[in-house]
A and B are shown apart, each in its own frame.
Chain A
């Protein structure tokens, strides 16, 4: 259900400018330049990579189901363009309280939020069991990195286990109050303590009358929001400590990072392409990606001030992110690459200032 809500919302954002596959790539977190740019342009960063396990065929079925329920309307079969219907919009409003769409912060915390949860769960299981002198428990988490993280911290925490647990309890109590009751319940039931094993996703789904996919998404959203709170607000030292060295994520694709380094060293686009044995167009893609993330990145080497102005004018006139529309509007000498760069910078400004206009 939540996935359905997310899809409807995303489609309503991109309107008919992209195919529904673009939404699929955002949700599954495809690390391509096109997808990264899409999520910025259409302000769908929060849903980036929130579920990397959906099959394309399942996704397509869901789209068809939405169409059958007349929540989505197919505009162009060949290009797979859809728009949200009135009914779809009403559905989003009506179900809003159950969709928890505001919890997600995919681009920011997506990659590491489940590791955060794994650390937290294994830490709680370890501390409560060791407090009771029971060392034969079967760990809930089977991830070597997480195991090592707990091991590294265990000896320091062990002497103050009681204080640590009560402090953790207070922090969780305080932060959980900001979530809907259903979400807080799911989180607590998922925890494993001493002789009290956490519930499986399946059990939570039955208990709350949700699908397993939805429970998974709720927990994902919960973690994004939780990490966001504890990183931004003061009184959560323990919950923040668990996030340490997890949140510093860089979203540039590897290959774009290498290009960034070359640019930094003063190489030209052509030189980089030759050196790396890549097409010039690929390097263009990298530069657009860099411009999206790095607000200090200057695009003046690639687009003159005057041309920038012309593209911005065109954007406001056409009120479209569609490259072709803008291209038709501006002078011929301006390339697609230049339009994309300007849109990327514009996007950056939008994000730091709030909204467009």
Chain B
């Protein structure tokens, strides 16, 4: 069905984004294309639709779909191909929905038969109600899960032969991801749709493909049947990828046994914290009566979906958000908000924010960002600061020459590591990490987590870890606070919360967590 031969796509400077990539997909097959950010996955996916991003150019090779040369099609035929044969579901499918278009219109404009009855059938196909009232709704009146399904119904309305999925589950929590993948799996099987699943997530790929293609720096480094490729990878890169996958069950067995005694003088004590956003009648309380402690060398995870209040709590600890009630106590001292903290108090607590791009001044070099902290909080200047900056960069796995770069010259993962280095420059006692690994590829993620864990062990660094990823928690945390709607719904050691969850939400989350090993075992059986 798809026949890509020696496709080479280069940017304006001549650097190859895809380098002689060949791919053969037969009708009804399910092929997973795995690679890290920057490996050329998305370029490959959209090339199949005859769309090459501005600034890139196909310089060699061919892309054929059912015998037609896609790259040579005129606009009208290309539109017909996209409309009738190939569907594309991109990252964060809900953003593909135009907010001014009603549910019915979203599906009807792409359906072969735009009648309300046919639209209702398409909606029912993805498990959505098809009645008139529902068809009259706008996307914002649906839940997040319904939006995902509507986006799927939309691209499937044209009865495509091939469905290209480009990271459709990135950023979703485990429960929603599980639902979306199951839905796609069932629909594709029922309708005999060929699947091309592009992802950086090996676990998701294992779930939805029969064959794997591993892409690195625009080249295919390994290709083969799923089980064989994952259980006995031939290429060292694939081996590295497989080894780096955070597997909850494995990490749990390996790390989940540490027990920290709660001492009388914890490093951090949060007492009955309450906080909210907005003013007057629009005030929304995002944290209610939250209490917990962190010991020296301990890592406490705040687990919750978006909107559960975990970031607000973290920002209260770092002093960037003023709580309505309750206290933040570090080393026995009640800390005010960050502006009123003394330099010594500021040094103790450091925040690594989620948005690394937004927290770095775009006009200051990486070195300037780090040495400023060294100067203000450590009193280091000149050659001493330079040496320390290089040491910190090396610590987070970045070469010393990065000090001269500006944030926009770095990748997302590199920026994230710079913000960690900047926080460590203060020699903090407590590190507050807000979803620091969510934008990182698995290999980089493993490196960052190892770094924080080793600092915690060797220097007694206390860590407050905010995440929605159970794999990260199993690897890192000693204790877990599960948050729902701003309240602690369950707390305990990792062993208690992940091993025997008591709250129904935690239990559902643990049950939905994907595991590479479990996926493989299921396949082989």
Asked if A pairs with B, the answer is: no
Q: List residues of B whose CB falls within 8 A of some A CB.
A: none
